[in-house]
Chain A
Amino acid sequence: MNEFQSNDIDRREYLTFLLADEEYGVDILKVQEIRGYEKTTRIPGAPVFIKGVINLRGAIVPIVDMRIKLALEAVEYNEFTVVIILNLNGRMVGVVVDGVQDVLALSPAQIRATPDMDSAIDHRFILGLATLEDRMVILLEIDGLMTSRDMQLIDGLTGA
């Protein structure tokens, strides 16, 4: 097996970001843009982690604050707050994070299985852990996560 070759072909790029102290990564192809945080319009009946919707050049896009969802530390919204706009098969959703890091190209070999640990995020939606030097990046299966019943973004799954 030519490790170099297979690595090259299977490399995928991931955008990494911070939520409190933890570093996460999502498939860069699903990221549409990165914006600052702006005031949202509240939606009736929405769970507390869905801040509301914003006007994204004419489209109505819901904004989810993962920090609230994962019950991490207290959240603030300031000039450093970043929103990652994801485009998941045409559905757009914005995710509030503490900061965006960089883009990593990772091959499957570099992604390790997730150890059995208590995690705020359901293991179903974690692709694996990537270790680089002293960083540990938790790679998210973002499609599954965002469309899961839990997130209450999709009709029919909420029971509402």
Chain B
Amino acid sequence: MSIDIGQFAQVFLEEAAEHLASMESGLLGLDLQAADPETLNAIFRAAHSIKGGAGTFGLDAVAEFTHTLETLLDRIRHGKRRFDEACLDACLRSVDLLRDMLDVHTSGGSYDAEAAETLVGDLQSLLSAESSAARSANQTGAVEADPAPEPMHCFDMRISLPAGQAGKRESVESLLMSLAELGTLDMLESPLPAAGSPCWHARFTTVMEQSALSDFAEFVLEPDWIRIVPAGADSPVSDDNADPGYGFFEPAMPSVDDALSSSVQSTDDGFGFFDDAPGTPQSVVSTTEGDGYGFFEPIPSTPASPDAVPALQTQVSGVAADEAYGFFEPLDAPAGAPAAPVAASDKAPVAEDPGYGFFDTRMVECDTPEAARIRLTDATDGSYGFFDPVLAPQAFAAPKPAASGPVASAPQKPLSQPAPKPASKAAPASGAGAAAADTSIRVPTHKIDQLINLVGELVITQSMLKAAAEALDPVLHEQLLAGLAQLERNSRDLQESVLSTRMVPMSVVFSRYPRIVRDIAKKLGKQVDLQLIGESVELDKGMVEKIVDPLTHLVRNAVDHGLEMPEARLAKGKKQTGTIMLIAEHQSGQIVIEIVDDGAGLNRERILEKAHSQGIPVEHAMPDSEVWDLIFAPGFSTAETVTEVSGRGVGMDVVRKNIVALGGSVHLSSESGLGTRVTIRLPLTLAILDGMTVRANSDDFIIPLGLVVESLPTDNLTFKSVGRSGLLVKIREDYVPMASLAGLLGMADDAQTKIAPVVVVLEFEGRRMAIGVDALLGQQQVVVKNLESNYRRVQGISGATILGNGQVALILDVSGLASLIQSSHHS
């Protein structure tokens, strides 16, 4: 039945897609050993929203299915069902199915109803399985293998109802009864029927994690009323492997929670910081070796409230001190102590303000834990921006704002410094734009494009005015000229701002890869650790769509061909789990994206062989870089078999073509046995270019300034000819291939035999070339216009622009020129 999709339904579909994306990335980011309750809650909420919206718009099938999923998620988040590999799989499949179901409404077609039935069945069986029967699953795929078997935890529980809450007895009783079903409950102490402040003491042995247990209990009880302490030798170990709170949210105060994030649940909202502030309750913290980071030194305790149970010992994770980013070093410098981001070196990006600005303001305002709690729950970003860098390698996708809540004092930047202004200026905008619902507006891209066009026209008009004004007497027309100068500044600023609206963070691109890598790795039986670095680096939206396919191809290659099977890796003395890093950074006006794997590297011999068999001229003494370049030949693939994953011949040549079409370049480098690195360079934006204007004959051209090394008059230079038409020019000590621009483009007057008066030296992909021109006309920023919308592609020309005088000037495509020079030299 077709549904009349109104304007609002369209919004629902878009938002549902976002919810699904955040569910997926949340699911992928979960540690199966200690699922972060905040993430589980977020996933649940997303599913819940989808269900609600689907119901509203009459998408009954979607609503129904989502209901089942939501039920499962609900049980998981309350600890009633352990989140294991089977659950993860089912949830991911559910996300896929929901996508398909929603797609039917956007683009028609149908979804696989049979698969849906099967999935519903699976979900049902997961729902009914006893959580205690679930064993820790074998970890494969994107999550690092955890060698430890699932531990049984023994907890010492004390429940104490404060006076006046005796009415809650029944709730406590039924809670205990439920617990009895989830493990072994030994009641050590039960209260007398008439007790005013009844207390229970029990020992509880279960497979549940303390977090799950506390969650469970909290449904009935206030956190203050119950105290759960691990009993027995293995107590601090259970949450070792991943404490998503990373020690941040240690309950230094009476609290049910141990080391978990949750704005609502952690009762020491002072995090031990506010020990000295008046009115703050003192905390007692005992630490296991090294885990408190020296921060939570035992302090004499006074209970915060009459009902408070004496503080718990901290449950601190075994996260390496490094990963605290040096946060907890100076006890009395809570105001964002300068981090040691070096410690986190090869891992996730670290915010330059390691306090995330968080503790600066928080410090001042908390008098009581109550106030602190309220303050903290105010933060729109419930994770306070903590979890973005720290949770890499499988970092959250775009829906989680890159900047923390209201306090973001510094836009988060990758380890390497982003240089250009637009990036840093745009970061707060992107932080706002990245689906923080309150601070962004959904705007159709065509409106932005229109805006950019108009601003482009404005800049052109302004250039025309400037050109016209050059003829005026500066003294007579001082005001006018001053006004025009101001106009120029305003236009440039406007242009930069408008262009930055089109900039989106790399996370938009990267977010799909954890899933893809997980799926491929699973299919191939490989173990892969995917690290995403530089997710906050921004690029033009127009490039996002175009870069995804080449990147996907490269990532798949890395998993499929690059990384070896786990056994092979072990045999080589490598770690069983291979690492793939996706790195994005700004470098001198370009975006550099790298895919690095620590696999087997490129096989030089195989490549030479294959090239030879395809009739490509090769020499055994070819330098490595040239050998790797052979891979970009059309139809080239050293894969013996075409797997489902790759080898299909959507080859590297298409990858290179796509990237070059974006004005970028791609490079390979590799070390046998060590790994491969693919480097992609892209211009920051497609729309604007810094160019050098040159004249060849009577035509003006623009050369992208980024590729210009220098320009020299040719009078004193030495020239040597090579072959029939090749020319080399000696620049300092090197001979550089040269050609006249007019000649290259076929626009020379036949009479032209002299060597051009000026030569411009360009550097492209590590090679230099010299272009002979008649004059240098200047340098300017130009708006790039597409030549191909009304004409065809021209080799050597990448686009056109409109100069200040209204004339069209063509923009040179340096890579095309390089090929032209090469062919003219080889002829």
- Give the interface of A toward B (CB within 8 A): 39-46, 52-55, 58-62, 91-93, 152-156, 158, 160
Task: State which of B131-139, B240-248, B452-460 sits at the interface with chain A.
Answer: B452-460
Q: Is the CB of B795 within 8 A of A91?
A: no
The residue in chain A whose Cβ has the minimal distance to the Cβ of B800 is A60
The residue in chain A whose Cβ has the minimal distance to the Cβ of B805 is A55
Q: Is the CB of B797 within 8 A of A44?
A: yes
Q: Give every chain A residue within 8 A of B440 (Cβ-Cβ).
A: none
Kindly state the separation between the CA atoms of A68 and B229 in the bound complex, as whole angstroms: 92
The answer to the question of B375 belonging to the interface, with a C-beta cut-off of 8 Å to chain A, is no
Kindly state the separation between the CA atoms of A44 and B820 in the bound complex, as whole angstroms: 12
The residue in chain B whose Cβ has the minimal distance to the Cβ of A90 is B789
Q: Is the CB of A59 within 8 A of B789?
A: yes
A interface footprint on B789-805 (CB within 8 Å = 1, 0 otherwise) = 11111111100101000
Least CB distance from A96 to B in Å reads: 16
The residue in chain B whose Cβ has the minimal distance to the Cβ of A57 is B457
Least CB distance from B118 to A in Å reads: 45
Q: Give every chain B residue within 8 A of A44 (Cβ-Cβ).
A: 745-747, 794-797, 810
Kindly state the separation between the CA atoms of A104 and B349 in the bound complex, as whole angstroms: 69
Kindly state the separation between the CA atoms of A6 and B375 in the bound complex, as whole angstroms: 79
Q: Give every chain B residue within 8 A of A52 (Cβ-Cβ).
A: 808
Contact of A60 among B460, B787, B806 (CB under 8 A): B787
Q: Give every chain A residue within 8 A of B609 (Cβ-Cβ).
A: none
The residue in chain B whose Cβ has the minimal distance to the Cβ of A40 is B808
Kindly state the separation between the CA atoms of A60 and B784 in the bound complex, as whole angstroms: 11
Q: Is the CB of A54 within 8 A of B808?
A: yes
Q: Is the CB of B747 within 8 A of A62?
A: no
Q: Give every chain A residue within 8 A of B795 (Cβ-Cβ).
A: 44-45, 160
Q: Is the CB of A61 within 8 A of B790?
A: yes
17 pairs, A vs B, C-beta closer than 8 Å: A41-B800, A41-B807, A43-B791, A43-B794, A44-B794, A44-B796, A45-B746, A45-B795, A59-B785, A60-B789, A60-B800, A155-B788, A155-B792, A158-B792, A160-B792, A160-B793, A160-B794
Least CB distance from B752 to A in Å reads: 15
Least CB distance from B458 to A in Å reads: 11
Q: Is the CB of A55 within 8 A of B792?
A: no
Kindly state the separation between the CA atoms of A64 and B139 in the bound complex, as whole angstroms: 66
Q: Is the CB of A42 within 8 A of B747?
A: yes
Kindly state the separation between the CA atoms of A17 and B348 in the bound complex, as whole angstroms: 68
Q: Give every chain B residue within 8 A of A92 (Cβ-Cβ).
A: 790
Not counting A41-B700, A58-B802, A61-B790, a sample of 5 additional A-B residue pairs whose C-beta atoms are within 8 angstroms of each other reads A41-B808, A43-B797, A58-B453, A153-B790, A153-B792
Least CB distance from A81 to B in Å reads: 18
Kindly state the separation between the CA atoms of A59 and B460 in the bound complex, as whole angstroms: 12
Q: Is the CB of B699 within 8 A of A59?
A: no
Least CB distance from B751 to A in Å reads: 17
Q: Is the CB of A60 within 8 A of B747?
A: no
The residue in chain A whose Cβ has the minimal distance to the Cβ of B744 is A44
The answer to the question of B809 belonging to the interface, with a C-beta cut-off of 8 Å to chain A, is yes
The answer to the question of B614 belonging to the interface, with a C-beta cut-off of 8 Å to chain A, is no
* Given A58-B802, A160-B792, A45-B786 contact (CB < 8 Å): no
Q: Give every chain A residue within 8 A of B800 (Cβ-Cβ).
A: 41, 53, 60
Least CB distance from B461 to A in Å reads: 10
Q: Give every chain B residue within 8 A of A58 (Cβ-Cβ).
A: 453, 456-457, 460, 785, 802
Q: Give every chain B residue within 8 A of A91 (Cβ-Cβ).
A: 789-790
Least CB distance from B821 to A in Å reads: 14
* Given A58-B802, A60-B800, A45-B745 contact (CB < 8 Å): yes
Pairs of residues from A and B, 8 with the lowest C-beta to C-beta distance, nearest first: A44-B745, A155-B792, A41-B808, A62-B791, A60-B800, A55-B802, A92-B790, A55-B808
Kindly state the separation between the CA atoms of A31 and B793 in the bound complex, as whole angstroms: 24
- Give the interface of B toward A (CB within 8 A): 453, 456-457, 460, 699-700, 745-747, 785-797, 800, 802, 806-810
Kindly state the separation between the CA atoms of A158 and B793 in the bound complex, as whole angstroms: 10
Q: Give every chain B residue within 8 A of A42 (Cβ-Cβ).
A: 699, 747
The residue in chain B whose Cβ has the minimal distance to the Cβ of A152 is B792
Least CB distance from B508 to A in Å reads: 29
Kindly state the separation between the CA atoms of A58 and B809 in the bound complex, as whole angstroms: 12
Q: Is the CB of A153 within 8 A of B745?
A: no
Q: Give every chain A residue within 8 A of B747 (Cβ-Cβ).
A: 42, 44
The residue in chain B whose Cβ has the minimal distance to the Cβ of A44 is B745
Kindly state the separation between the CA atoms of A79 and B802 in the bound complex, as whole angstroms: 24
Q: Give every chain B residue within 8 A of A59 (Cβ-Cβ).
A: 785, 789-790
Q: Give every chain A residue within 8 A of B457 (Cβ-Cβ).
A: 58
Contact of A41 among B460, B699, B790, B792 (CB under 8 A): B699
Q: Give every chain B residue within 8 A of A60 (Cβ-Cβ).
A: 785-787, 789-791, 800, 808
Kindly state the separation between the CA atoms of A25 and B794 in the bound complex, as whole angstroms: 31
Q: Give every chain B residue within 8 A of A40 (Cβ-Cβ).
A: 808
Q: Is the CB of A62 within 8 A of B790?
A: yes
Least CB distance from B321 to A in Å reads: 59
Least CB distance from B794 to A in Å reads: 6
Most buried by B among A42, A45, A55, A155: A55
Contact of A39 among B792, B802, B807, B810 (CB under 8 A): B807
Q: Give every chain A residue within 8 A of B809 (Cβ-Cβ).
A: 41
Kindly state the separation between the CA atoms of A23 and B261 in the bound complex, as whole angstroms: 81
Q: Give every chain A residue within 8 A of B700 (Cβ-Cβ).
A: 41
Contact of A53 among B745, B806, B808 (CB under 8 A): B808
Q: Give every chain A residue within 8 A of B785 (Cβ-Cβ).
A: 58-60
The residue in chain A whose Cβ has the minimal distance to the Cβ of B807 is A41
Least CB distance from A60 to B in Å reads: 5
Most buried by B among A53, A60, A92, A156: A60
Contact of B807 among A43, A55, A154, A160 (CB under 8 A): A55
Kindly state the separation between the CA atoms of A60 and B785 in the bound complex, as whole angstroms: 7
Kindly state the separation between the CA atoms of A111 and B806 in the bound complex, as whole angstroms: 42
Kindly state the separation between the CA atoms of A46 and B746 in the bound complex, as whole angstroms: 9
Least CB distance from A148 to B in Å reads: 13
Least CB distance from B205 to A in Å reads: 72
Q: Give every chain A residue within 8 A of B807 (Cβ-Cβ).
A: 39, 41, 55
Q: Give every chain A residue within 8 A of B789 (Cβ-Cβ).
A: 59-60, 91
Q: Give every chain A residue within 8 A of B797 (Cβ-Cβ).
A: 43-44
Least CB distance from A68 to B in Å reads: 17
Kindly state the separation between the CA atoms of A31 and B808 in the bound complex, as whole angstroms: 23
Kindly state the separation between the CA atoms of A160 and B792 in the bound complex, as whole angstroms: 10
The residue in chain B whose Cβ has the minimal distance to the Cβ of A157 is B792
Contact of B810 among A43, A55, A61, A62 (CB under 8 A): A43
Most buried by A among B745, B807, B809: B807
Most buried by A among B457, B788, B789, B792: B792
Q: Give every chain A residue within 8 A of B460 (Cβ-Cβ).
A: 58
The residue in chain A whose Cβ has the minimal distance to the Cβ of B786 is A60
Least CB distance from B682 to A in Å reads: 23
Least CB distance from B774 to A in Å reads: 15
Most buried by B among A43, A44, A152, A155: A44
Most buried by A among B453, B790, B796, B806: B790
Least CB distance from A144 to B in Å reads: 17
Kindly state the separation between the CA atoms of A61 and B808 in the bound complex, as whole angstroms: 10
The residue in chain B whose Cβ has the minimal distance to the Cβ of A62 is B791
Q: Is the CB of A153 within 8 A of B791?
A: yes
The residue in chain A whose Cβ has the minimal distance to the Cβ of B799 is A60
Q: Give every chain B residue within 8 A of A43 (Cβ-Cβ).
A: 787, 791, 794, 797, 810
Kindly state the separation between the CA atoms of A154 and B745 in the bound complex, as whole angstroms: 19
Kindly state the separation between the CA atoms of A62 and B810 in the bound complex, as whole angstroms: 13
Least CB distance from B810 to A in Å reads: 7
Q: Is the CB of B792 within 8 A of A93?
A: no
Kindly state the separation between the CA atoms of A39 and B808 in the bound complex, as whole angstroms: 10
Q: Give every chain A residue within 8 A of B790 (Cβ-Cβ).
A: 53, 59-62, 91-93, 153
Least CB distance from B441 to A in Å reads: 27
Least CB distance from B780 to A in Å reads: 16
Kindly state the separation between the CA atoms of A61 and B791 in the bound complex, as whole angstroms: 8
